[in-house]
């Protein structure tokens, strides 16, 4: 039976403006620039102001701001808000300071590879293959994974070609085409396992008179399991070679790429990681600067404001005129909301970075990781009176340029560990000690996790062996057996 009833429900919803601010906040500099360009294309009422010579925002010159959770309502916006004051100052214009020299802080480019699929496809089309071979080659290339391996068996691909492409072929024909693909660059592409990948690269290096290459081929061909487990004594006994010969062969093997698909390819476009913040230290004073590309000078279009004023003064009652005025008002509203969101984003970014620098000041003087203090998102959220989710959005995919290189903001957050003196230190300090110990160990007898645990205890850090293993794995350091060298 259906019944009707009244009930009260309390819920919290974000306004469109708050959602816009959240989306802007989690963007890095490059994404923000793309969003800004798109917004200016979509809304002609939004435009950039007069170009300043060096439009940077200094941290000590920022204004007080409110978090988006305390943001004022935009439901009842007065058109007068968009019109200049009597003194000629535009309320909506956002002006920046000019005392920052951009030449002092050039961005550091980091290259990024083009599409691996496109690179292989271009080679297939330029290899003068027969039409049928090229068709099969392009299909096989489509089955190759991002790391360069073909993990699907040829029998399954034969069935796929028959049912999906209406192409009849055999495993032998596909094998013939695959061999041609395996001769493409980068060396090792199209391999079906690690052993084949390494062999393909060694075959390309084999000139017929290199004993080290010949020995390396023998090791990978016939002693892959012993090699992967670093059972060097077993390899020496089986191949009846000297330790120097084994070292020469190992030197050739370690130069090979186990993931050919992730090889940097020449003649590619270059992308950049652009730092969102710039930190400098002069005479003991640390200064936080927001990248100028995060701080565009925006304002409401004067022509749109003047047009709206003209409509407002018009005594003519016309539906088309009313619709035009409403359209312009919507564009002006959208432009003002976007400008306010951009300002709020800038202030939130700076406030967060300033709080991070305040807590990690010792690190920014000399870049010593052991001086990092334990810090979690809640610490920064409490410091600047914001929600943890807001700090998380700021820390995500943002970078800061320091005198020690470009560093991800996530790097500065770490858990706390109590040492023997009862002091709380960052786990990054412990990781640094582990890293230094492993770097200095005897590679013939690398330190097992238990030995590393005892070393940390001697330095005043009572940490369990499983925790040592966890930190080692987080730093992508293999177990002792796999760190062993001749």
Who has greater pLDDT, 332 or 62?
A: 332
b (16+ CB within 10 A) / e for 155-185 = eebbeebeeeeeeebeeeebeebbebbbebe
Who wins on pLDDT, 175 or 128?
175
Q: What is the predicted pLDDT for the residue at 399?
A: 93
Residue 353 binned pLDDT confidence (cut-offs 50, 70, 90): very high
pLDDT of res. 237 = 86
Looking at domain 416-483, its CATH architecture is Orthogonal Bundle (1.10)
Mean pLDDT, residues 311-318: 64
pLDDT score for 114: 63
Domain locations in the chain as residue ranges? 16-104+275-402, 116-262, 416-483
User: Which stretches within 278-372 are classed as H helix?
Assistant: 302-313, 319-359, 361-366
Structure tokens at 346: 């800038």
pLDDT at 99 over 70: no
CA distance 43 to 304: 11
- What is the rounded CA–CA span in Å between residue 484 and residue 442? 9
Q: How many CB atoms lie within 10 A of CB 68?
A: 22
- pLDDT-derived band at 354 (thresholds 50, 70, 90) equals very high
3-class DSSP assignment, residue 95: coil
> Is the pLDDT confidence value at 25 over 60?
yes
- As given in the structure block, the two tokens for residue 107 are 């961005």
The pLDDT of residue 59 is above 60? no
Q: CB within 8 A of 158, min separation 6: which ones?
A: 169, 170, 171, 174
Express each pLDDT in 115-159 by its tens digit.
788 888 888 888 767 888 888 889 899 889 888 899 988 999 989
Strand runs labelled E in 205-328: 277-282, 285-290, 298-300
pLDDT in tens, 425-478: 778 888 888 888 898 888 888 888 888 888 888 888 888 888 888 888 888 888
pLDDT of residue 263: 64
């Amino acid at each position: 039976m259906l019944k009707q009833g009244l009930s009260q429900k309390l819920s919290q919803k974000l306004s469109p403006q708050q959602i816009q601010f959240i989306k802007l906040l989690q963007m890095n500099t490059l994404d923000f620039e793309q969003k800004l360009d798109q917004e200016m294309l979509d809304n002609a009422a939004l435009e950039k102001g007069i170009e300043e010579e060096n439009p940077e925002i200094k941290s000590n010159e920022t204004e007080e701001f409110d978090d988006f959770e305390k943001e004022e309502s935009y439901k009842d916006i007065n058109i007068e808000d968009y019109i200049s004051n009597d003194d000629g100052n535009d309320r909506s214009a956002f002006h920046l300071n000019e005392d920052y020299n951009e030449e002092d802080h050039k961005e550091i480019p980091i290259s990024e590879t083009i599409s691996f699929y496109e690179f292989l496809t271009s080679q297939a089309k330029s290899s003068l293959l027969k039409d049928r071979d090229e068709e099969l080659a392009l299909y096989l290339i489509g089955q190759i994974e991002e790391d360069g391996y073909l993990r699907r068996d040829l029998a399954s691909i034969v069935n796929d070609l028959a049912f999906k492409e209406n192409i009849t072929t055999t495993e032998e024909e596909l094998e013939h085409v695959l061999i041609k693909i395996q001769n493409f660059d980068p060396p090792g592409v199209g391999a079906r396992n690690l052993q084949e990948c390494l062999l393909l690269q060694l075959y390309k290096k084999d000139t017929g008179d290199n004993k080290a290459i010949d020995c390396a081929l023998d090791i990978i061909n016939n002693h892959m399991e012993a090699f992967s487990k670093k059972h060097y004594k077993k390899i020496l006994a089986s191949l009846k070679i000297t330790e120097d010969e084994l070292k020469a062969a190992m030197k050739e093997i370690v130069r090979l790429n186990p993931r050919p698909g992730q090889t940097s390819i020449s003649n590619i476009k270059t992308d950049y990681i652009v730092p969102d913040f710039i930190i400098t230290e002069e005479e003991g004073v640390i200064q936080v600067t927001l990248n100028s590309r995060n701080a565009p000078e925006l304002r409401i279009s004067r022509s749109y404001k003047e047009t709206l004023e003209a409509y407002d003064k018009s005594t003519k009652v016309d539906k088309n005129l009313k619709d035009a005025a409403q359209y312009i008002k919507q564009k002006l509203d959208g432009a003002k909301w976007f400008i306010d969101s951009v300002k709020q984003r800038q202030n939130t970014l700076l406030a967060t970075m300033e709080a991070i620098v305040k807590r990690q000041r010792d690190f920014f003087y000399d870049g010593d990781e052991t001086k990092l203090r334990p810090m979690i998102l809640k610490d920064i959220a409490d410091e600047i009176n914001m929600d943890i989710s807001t700090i998380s959005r700021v820390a995500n995919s943002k970078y800061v340029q320091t005198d020690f290189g470009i560093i991800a903001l996530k790097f500065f957050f770490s858990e706390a560990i109590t040492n023997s003196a009862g002091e709380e230190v960052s786990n990054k300090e412990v990781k640094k000690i582990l890293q230094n110990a492993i770097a200095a160990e005897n590679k013939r007898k690398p330190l097992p996790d238990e030995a590393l645990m005892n070393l940390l205890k001697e330095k005043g850090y009572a940490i369990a062996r499983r925790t040592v293993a966890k930190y080692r794995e987080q730093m992508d350091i293999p177990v002792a057996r796999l760190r062993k060298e001749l």
